[in-house]
């Protein structure tokens, strides 16, 4: 491993075509005013294919579930004295699934002039 990156968080996630862009931000002090709140600044940008992003999202979800479980166990024991132990990911790697295009849903009939408009349906995201 040649380089390590620290980030305070992730900024906007942008999907363009088949690529996902993640902006990693850190908070920097505002030198203009004393005592002002730090401002987020993009320090690194990661580009990855949508399939890789979906696999990473599953891994993040698994890690979040493991952290929640550790916190529940710690709360049940009644203490927060020790720092959390590192959480390792499962040994087995998920097999990437090809993304299959889905046909658009058929158009719904438009409401008659004396009926109220039907509710607006928003498209569902392509990932779970």
Distance from C-alpha of 128 to C-alpha of 111, rounded to nearest angstrom: 31
pTM assigned to the model: 0.53
Instruction: Output the six-digit token pair for 93.
Output: 């790697």
Distance from C-alpha of 25 to C-alpha of 30, rounded to nearest angstrom: 15
List beta partners, residue 45.
23
Contacts of 127 (CB under 8 A, 6+ apart): 50, 53, 54, 57
Beta strands in the chain (DSSP E): 9-16, 19-28, 39-49
Nearest to 87 by CA among 106, 71, 105: 71
> Mind listing the pLDDT tens digit for each residue in 50-78?
999 999 999 999 999 999 999 999 999 88
Q: Please list, residue by residue across 36-70, b when 16 or more beta carbons sit within 10 angstroms of its beta carbon and e when fewer do.
A: eeeeeeeeeeeeeebeebbbeeeeeeeeeeeeeee
Q: Greater confidence, 71 or 109?
A: 71
Work out the mean pLDDT of the chain and round it to a whole number.
76
pLDDT (average), residues 97-101: 56
> Mind listing the pLDDT tens digit for each residue in 19-30?
999 999 999 887
Instruction: Output the six-digit token pair for 51.
Output: 């399939």
If phi > 0 it is left, if psi is from -120 to 50 it is alpha, else beta; for residue 78 that is left
Question: So what's the pLDDT on residue 36?
Answer: 77
């Amino acid at each position: 491993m040649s380089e390590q990156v620290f980030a305070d968080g992730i900024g906007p996630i942008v999907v363009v075509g088949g690529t996902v862009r993640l902006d990693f931000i850190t908070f920097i002090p505002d030198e203009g005013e004393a005592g002002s709140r730090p401002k987020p600044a993009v320090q690194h940008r990661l580009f990855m294919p949508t399939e890789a992003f979906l696999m990473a999202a599953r891994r993040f979800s698994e890690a979040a579930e493991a952290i929640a479980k550790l916190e529940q166990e710690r709360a049940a024991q009644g203490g927060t004295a020790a720092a959390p132990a590192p959480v390792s990911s499962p040994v087995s790697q998920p097999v990437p699934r090809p993304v299959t295009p889905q046909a658009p849903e058929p158009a719904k009939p438009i409401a008659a002039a004396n009926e109220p408009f039907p509710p607006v349906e928003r498209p569902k995201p392509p990932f779970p």
